[in-house]
Amino acid sequence: MRVALLGCGVVGSEVARLIVENGDDLAARVGRPLELAGIAVRRKRERPGLPVDPDLFTTDATGLVSRDDIDLVVEVIGGIEPARSLILAAMKNGASVVSANKALLAEDGATLFAAAQEHGVDLYYEAAVAGAIPILRPLRESLVGDQVQRVLGIVNGTTNFILSSMDETGAGFAEALDEATALGYAEADPTADVEGFDAAAKAAILASLAFHTRVPLGAVHREGITEVTAADVASAKAMGHVVKLLAIAELVDGAVAVRVHPAMIPREHPLASVRDAFNAVFVQSAAAGQLMFYGRGAGGAPTASAVLGDLVAVARHRTGGGLGPGESSYADLPVRPMGDTLTRYHVSLDVDDRPGVLAAVATAFARHGVSIQTVRQEGHADDAVLVLVTHTARDADLAATVEELRALEIVRDVSSVMRVEGV
């Protein structure tokens, strides 16, 4: 069983190492040995400590996937091209593919699934979402006889590290980002993480699997964490909540809503105790009820563990016959726009401390059909703050309410606005 590896960076080198070092175990589990047949890299260079034959390296990735002795291809290059062309060439050549490429799966999964089906090969991609955590296989296989209603995920380690740090130290976003960068948890250009692009790609993949439909990346509502302030985090804390960047996929009245944004969740929620760079995905389904999957969402070895699990699965299919589940997109569900999504808001207002303030504020909420669940006043005179949490309402109505509050004379500042989830 001959394996071509595309990419030999942080993840690829760990995949190569595991294939070699766990060779006997893998052979026993597959029924035949797995042999590294070639490793495509951008540049050949010394890779001290990596236990593979230097002759395996090639800069000709296209040539590698076209060789007629390749059974399985592992793609850990990332990005759209050349990854997509290489995967399609590999499939056309009869190879099954394991990929860790969330961007490509979210952007153009349909093309890959169609090619896999056309050529009768497997496409597995557990490592594309939440690194080492087995979440795609449970959604694709374990929960396939159940009906998933909602998925709430902490699927980006960088932002979870930053928000955990803000929660623990009271730091602001910029300071916490600096710490994350210094410790290697954030990249030099952190945009993809802190603006939620990474989480949005994963949300699209999770939603597609959970609801057996196709959710285009463009249908995912996305807000990052750059505007989360120390005041937001403190306000969450004051009501027993914690701020997390959540990827949320819901099925409501036959429509799918998928969104990524910071939200306050109660400290008792299983996701609240997911700290630092850990990831977790919380699933609510009709029969199983609440499930949570927790672990490392990134890093070479954790991601390689997920790749290897997939590699053994597709290798077993080659030796024993059969194929894994293909794309399960028979339910072509409509996507609900963010404005129509039902959410709850937490709002902190700096207000004048005089009679009639609450009445004016409450009237603004009422005018947009938004019910208030709790309200409390903190401080007095110049420090008077009104903290409100709403009941569930259309997101557009909540946003319109906040706009109206900003314009009220008695409201000096809207100091914190954030959605509340997991209640």
**Binding residues for its own copies, per CB under 8 A?**
14, 18, 22, 25-26, 28-29, 126, 132-134, 137-138, 141-147, 212, 270, 273, 285-296, 299, 301-302, 304-309, 311-313, 316-317, 320-323, 325, 328, 330-331
Beta-strand ranges (E) seen in 267-314 are 278-285, 289-296
Nearer to its own copies, 21 or 340 (CB): 21
- Least separation, in Å, of the C-beta of 47 and its own copies? 18
CA 68 to chain centre: 36
Nearer to its own copies, 143 or 162 (CB): 143
- Least separation, in Å, of the C-beta of 134 and its own copies? 4
- Least separation, in Å, of the C-beta of 65 and its own copies? 21
- Choose among 74, 106, 78, 105: nearest CA to 90: 74
- Least separation, in Å, of the C-beta of 168 and its own copies? 12
> How many other CB atoms are there within 10 angstroms of residue 94's CB atom?
13
Question: Does the annotation mark 202 as catalytic?
Answer: yes
> Which pair of tokens denotes residue 288?
């199983």
Nearer to its own copies, 150 or 316 (CB): 316
Nearer to its own copies, 317 or 346 (CB): 317
CA separation, residue 413 to residues 239, 296, 357, 363, 367 (Å): 20, 39, 13, 17, 20
Q: Do 316 and 190 meet the contact criterion of CB atoms below 8 Å apart?
A: no
Catalytic residue among 92, 202, 237, 244: 202
- Least separation, in Å, of the C-beta of 186 and its own copies? 20
Contacts of 355 (CB under 8 A, 6+ apart): none
CA 284 to chain centre: 16
Nearer to its own copies, 311 or 384 (CB): 311
The total number of residues shown for the chain amounts to 423
Instruction: Kindly report whether the peptide bond that precedes residue 266 is cis, defined as omega within 30 degrees of 0.
Output: no
> Which residues have a catalytic role annotated?
202
